[in-house]
């Protein structure tokens, strides 16, 4: 992809401004930057594509996106998960038109070329007369060069030179183990993922879930007022109380919150009948200590996979249930996201718990969720400012200075004994600044960048 001189200069400006904690609105709505994001972030990073429980049997498949490209995520006849580009090598027609199903082969509707669910070219009408010399090896469906999974989460990278998934996740893997790897039975996606279109930029979702505890007491106050999200301020969903950030220079990070629920809820807020199915010996002693004493509430795996695990009431006034759900902000243009939502249930949980958790998750973060409606409305402002004539002429900048250079009561916590940089509260924006530094490294680097320790 070509980078104009103007954009090269803009990259240098962003770099300088990030050090001062300011960001140009332009990064939220610029077609050239967006093309760079698709090319250098989504086609290079490890992107989440599906949960293993969505395709348990050979032949099971679902249609998914990496950036704006559509892929068939399919379990082949030998059980291996493949991520196949859903474009026929004859004229580019999608070979699969159904959101999910089971098939050993995909037959293109246009001229009926047929591909195995490994992606291999398998045949075509009149083959013996029409394609006597066709080299079948060359004409299979293109596929993601790297596919791997962790605790049921399937990721793919389109970059042949990508690091392994474990290297990519770095020490976030430690927290994934402590959040999702709590027993042998694991978790499953409940129902189908919900999808809906939102006028916003994908980065607004990512930075929000990664670290924006600051918005909760103000934007989401109504959820507390109707009795569905109790204890926002006192319980610590806000930036003070018992919240903190843990983040990494790779742009991954999370909000840790210890104050949501009083005992006897324990082990990250799960009731005993669920917590008793967890197997502590699957974790290291440090991970066990973390699970007993802390609770990650929202987190981000760069670039666009979020996870939420919080207690919320499935109905106004009902006791809270801890739900776990995955969120992906799929870019569909610089100013449009397609939100994808999966609620995860514990396979070991007693009947009823996952159902309550599912309802709680939808009540909060489904398309009509009480938190979701708050968030998506306000995120719509950034891309509008990004295209505004007056924003450009007046040199408007967004403020990411919270916690910078003593701006607030916010510091690194030297006592934190677990991986990552931890802070003493969540009243800061250091993780967001780390996110945008990672973003800038990726969009401004033509070849795979070295990992740097360019942190605060
Ligand atoms: Fe697929 Fe022709 S486009 S067979
Ligand atoms: Fe929110």
Q: Closest ligand 1 atom to the C-alpha of 89?
A: 1
Boundary-marking domain end, from 117, 150, 183: 150
Question: CA 439 to CA 434: how far, in whole Å?
Answer: 9
Q: Are residues 108 and 244 in the same domain?
A: no
Ligand nearest to the CA of 375: 2
- What are the residues whose beta carbons fall under 8 Å from the beta carbon of 410, sequence distance 6 or more? 402, 403, 423, 424, 425, 427, 428, 430
Residue 120, helix vs strand vs coil: coil
Q: Give the closest residue to 195 by CA, choosing from 83, 364, 292, 65.
A: 65
Boundary-marking domain end, from 97, 115, 150: 150
Q: Which is it for the CA torsion 300, 177, 250, 42, positive or negative?
A: negative
pLDDT at 238: 65
Neighbours of 78 (CB within 10 A): 8
Residue 354 forms part of a structural domain:
yes
The number of domains in the chain is 2
Strands (E) across 305-397 are located at 305-312, 321-331, 337-346
Q: Are residues 58 and 139 in the same domain?
A: yes
Residue 88 CA to ligand 1 centre (angstroms): 6
Residue 214 CA to ligand 2 centre (angstroms): 9
Residue 42 forms part of a structural domain:
no
CATH number (domain holding residue 371): 3.90.380.10
Q: Closest ligand 1 atom to the C-alpha of 111?
A: 4
**Burial state string for 419-450 with b = 16 or more CB within 10 A and e = fewer than 16:** bbbbbbbbbbbbbbbbbbbbbbbbbbeeeeee
The secondary structure element, H or E, covering residue 83 is strand 81-85
- Residues surrounding ion ligand 2 at CB below 5 Å: 375
Q: Residue ranges of the chain with pLDDT lower than 70?
A: 230-242, 259-268, 448-456
Q: Name the token pair of 112.
A: 């009926």
The verdict on the CB of residue 124 being under 6 Å from ligand 1 is: no
Question: CA 170 to CA 173: how far, in whole Å?
Answer: 6
The verdict on the CB of residue 115 being under 6 Å from ligand 1 is: no
- What are the residues whose beta carbons fall under 8 Å from the beta carbon of 367, sequence distance 6 or more? 194, 196, 339, 341
Q: Are residues 252 and 390 in the same domain?
A: yes
* Closest residue by CA, ligand 1 atom 3: 91
Residue 4 forms part of a structural domain:
no
Residue 91 CA to ligand 1 centre (angstroms): 5
Ligand nearest to the CA of 365: 2
Ligand nearest to the CA of 95: 1
Q: Are residues 403 and 281 in the same domain?
A: yes
Residue 317 CA to ligand 2 centre (angstroms): 20
pTM: 0.95
Residue 338 forms part of a structural domain:
yes
Q: Which is it for the CA torsion 30, 36, 42, 43, positive or negative?
A: positive
Residue 22 forms part of a structural domain:
no
The verdict on the CB of residue 91 being under 6 Å from ligand 1 is: yes
pLDDT at 232: 65
Widest Cα–Cα separation across the chain: 77
* Closest residue by CA, ligand 1 atom 4: 111
Residue to probe by mutation, ligand 1, list 97, 113, 114, 140, most atoms within 8 Å of CB: 113
- What are the residues whose beta carbons fall under 8 Å from the beta carbon of 217, sequence distance 6 or more? 232, 233, 237, 238, 239
The verdict on the CB of residue 111 being under 6 Å from ligand 1 is: yes
Ligand nearest to the CA of 110: 1
Q: Name the token pair of 450.
A: 């070295």
Q: Give the closest residue to 154 by CA, choosing from 58, 70, 46.
A: 46
Q: Closest ligand 1 atom to the C-alpha of 93?
A: 3
Cβ-based burial of 294 (10 A; exposed 0-12, middle 13-18, buried ≥19): buried
Q: Name the token pair of 128.
A: 């013996």
Q: Are residues 183 and 128 in the same domain?
A: no
Q: Are residues 210 and 143 in the same domain?
A: no
Q: Are residues 343 and 391 in the same domain?
A: yes
Percent of the chain whose predicted confidence (pLDDT) is above 70: 93
Residue 119 · residue 140 · CB < 8 Å: yes
Q: Are strands 305-312 and 296-301 parallel, antiparallel or unpaired?
A: antiparallel
List the domain range (segments joined by +) for residue 104.
47-150
Residue 63, helix vs strand vs coil: strand
Q: Are residues 179 and 278 in the same domain?
A: yes
The verdict on the CB of residue 96 being under 6 Å from ligand 1 is: no
pLDDT at 231: 63
The verdict on the CB of residue 110 being under 6 Å from ligand 1 is: yes
Residue 297 CA to ligand 1 centre (angstroms): 47
Residue 316 CA to ligand 2 centre (angstroms): 18
Residue 298 CA to ligand 2 centre (angstroms): 10
| Dihedral (Cα; 272, 372, 97, 52), 10-degree rounding | -20
The verdict on the CB of residue 12 being under 6 Å from ligand 1 is: no
CATH number (domain holding residue 93): 2.102.10.10
Residue 365 CA to ligand 2 centre (angstroms): 9
pLDDT at 448: 61
Instruction: Please give the radius of gyration of the chain, using alpha carbons only, rounded to the nearest integer.
Output: 23
Residue 403 forms part of a structural domain:
yes
């Amino acid at each position: 992809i070509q980078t104009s001189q103007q954009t090269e200069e803009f990259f240098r400006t962003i770099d300088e401004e990030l050090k001062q904690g300011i960001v140009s609105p332009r990064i939220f709505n610029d077609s050239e930057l967006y093309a760079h994001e698709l090319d250098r972030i989504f086609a290079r990073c490890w992107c989440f594509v599906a949960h293993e429980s969505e395709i348990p049997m050979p032949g099971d498949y679902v249609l998914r996106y990496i950036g704006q490209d559509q892929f068939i995520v399919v379990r082949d006849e030998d059980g291996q998960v493949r991520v196949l580009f859903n474009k026929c090598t004859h004229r580019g027609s999608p070979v699969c038109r159904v959101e999910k199903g089971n098939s050993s082969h995909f037959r293109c509707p246009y001229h009926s070329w047929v591909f195995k669910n490994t992606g291999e070219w398998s045949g075509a009408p009149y083959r013996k007369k029409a394609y006597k010399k066709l080299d079948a090896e060359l004409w299979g469906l293109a596929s993601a060069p790297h596919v791997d999974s962790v605790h049921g989460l399937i990721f793919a990278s389109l970059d042949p030179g990508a690091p392994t998934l474990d290297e990519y996740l770095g020490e976030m893997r430690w927290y994934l183990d402590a959040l999702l790897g709590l027993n042998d039975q694991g978790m499953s996606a409940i129902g189908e993922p919900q999808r809906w279109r939102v006028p916003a930029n994908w980065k607004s979702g990512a930075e929000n879930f990664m670290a924006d505890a600051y918005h909760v007491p103000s934007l989401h106050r109504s959820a507390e007022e109707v009795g569905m999200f109790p204890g926002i301020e006192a319980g610590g969903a806000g930036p003070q109380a018992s919240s903190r950030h843990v983040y990494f220079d790779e742009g991954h990070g999370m909000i840790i919150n210890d104050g949501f629920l009083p005992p006897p809820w324990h082990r990250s807020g799960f009731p005993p009948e669920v917590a008793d199915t967890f197997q502590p010996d699957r974790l290291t002693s440090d991970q066990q200590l973390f699970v007993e004493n802390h609770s990650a509430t929202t987190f981000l795996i760069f670039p666009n996979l979020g996870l939420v695990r919080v207690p919320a009431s499935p109905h106004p006034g009902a006791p809270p249930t801890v739900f776990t759900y995955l969120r992906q902000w799929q870019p569909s243009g610089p100013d449009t996201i397609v939100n994808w939502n999966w609620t995860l249930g514990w396979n070991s949980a007693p009947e009823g718990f996952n159902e309550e958790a599912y309802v709680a998750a939808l009540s909060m973060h489904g398309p009509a969720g009480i938190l979701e409606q708050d968030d998506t409305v306000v995120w719509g402002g950034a891309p509008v400012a990004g295209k505004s004539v007056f924003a450009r002429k007046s040199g408007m900048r967004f403020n990411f200075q919270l916690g910078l250079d003593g701006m607030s009561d916010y510091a690194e916590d030297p006592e934190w004994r677990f991986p990552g940089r931890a802070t003493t509260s969540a009243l800061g924006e250091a993780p967001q600044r780390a996110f945008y530094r990672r973003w800038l490294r990726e969009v401004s680097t033509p070849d795979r960048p070295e990992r740097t320790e360019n942190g605060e």
